Amino acid sequence: MTQTGRFIWYELMTTDLAAAREFYSHVTGWSIADSGMPGIEYSLASSGAAPVGGMMTLPDEVRAMGARPSWMGYIAVADVDAASAQVREGGGTIHRAPDDIPGIGRFCVAADPQGAVFVLFRGDGTPPPAPTPGTPGHFGWHELHARDWEAAFAFYASLFGWVKTDAVDMGPMGTYQLFGVTGPDGGCDGVHTGGMMTNTQVPAPFWLYYVNVGDIDAAGPRVTARGGQIIAGPHQVPGGAWILHALDPQGAMFALVGPRPNA
């Protein structure tokens, strides 16, 4: 079973599934096909032979509650029901109670105390091996934009065992705190899993997911060519990578990360 606290799946809820499939296949190089799951129109996005995420239409009842197109990250836990109870005890919210996906696993849609949404998940069977970090077409980074990152970190650390790694001084923007997953020996496994920051400029706290690309300069025009919008970047981050933040044509926010081979 995948270690608790690792992001293992990503899912787009959108208002135009056909348009989203066309957009992301062009931008990321994914091959996207219907999953064949009975009773639901669910698309699977793959990088080569490896599935990386899913896409589905945002249900009408969820849209009526004010939900907008967005990406959600699935985080592995050993027991979805116990973790959902812990979310509530920590001040978070359960948007969808624990339920089974036959032949796939058990899940629960939750939100942290500041409102950022994520999914608790325990899969059936053995998960596929993790890709080499930086592999194009795979999700490579996870970033929380919080109202108060220190309070948010305490919540997630209690829930998933995340530990602080490096901290980056962003000047007037405050601290960007990197985190990792607790290893079998109780310490960090040495890999940065993501980062979190205090961002009072956004309407509501949210998780932002980065897809690896082979050339950030080539990727930007692919976003705009298919009706997306670049809202920040490209700009370089510590470690040498380049990033950009974007909106897809339906308004879901995502990000890209990669090198500038020709710079």
Structure confidence by residue, pLDDT tens digits, 113-149: 999 999 999 998 777 777 888 889 999 999 999 999 9
Question: Do 149 and 174 lie in a common domain?
Answer: yes
* pLDDT average, residue stretch 22-32: 96
Q: What is the mean pLDDT of residues 7-28?
A: 95
Indicate whether 100 belongs to any domain. yes
Same domain, 52 and 96: yes
Q: Domain of 187?
A: 139-258
* Whether residue 254 sits in one domain with residue 145: yes
Residues 200, 145 within the same domain:
yes
> Is position 1 within any domain?
no
Q: Which residues contact 78 (CB under 8 A, 6 or more apart)?
A: 1, 4, 122
The candidate with the shortest Cα–Cα distance to 144, out of 207, 211, 210, 75, is 207
- The pLDDT of residue 191 is 58
Mean pLDDT of 181-210: 78
What CATH number did the domain enclosing 211 receive?
A: 3.10.180.10
Tell me the whole-structure pTM to 2 decimals.
Answer: 0.93
Choose one of 123, 149, 173: the last residue of a domain: 123
Rounded Cα distance between 53 and 8, Å, is 9
Work out the pLDDT band at 263, boundaries 50, 70, 90.
Answer: low
Please tell me the predicted confidence (pLDDT) of residue 202. Answer: 87
**Considering the chain, what is the average pLDDT of its residues?**
90
The confidence band for 184, taking pLDDT boundaries of 50, 70 and 90, is: low
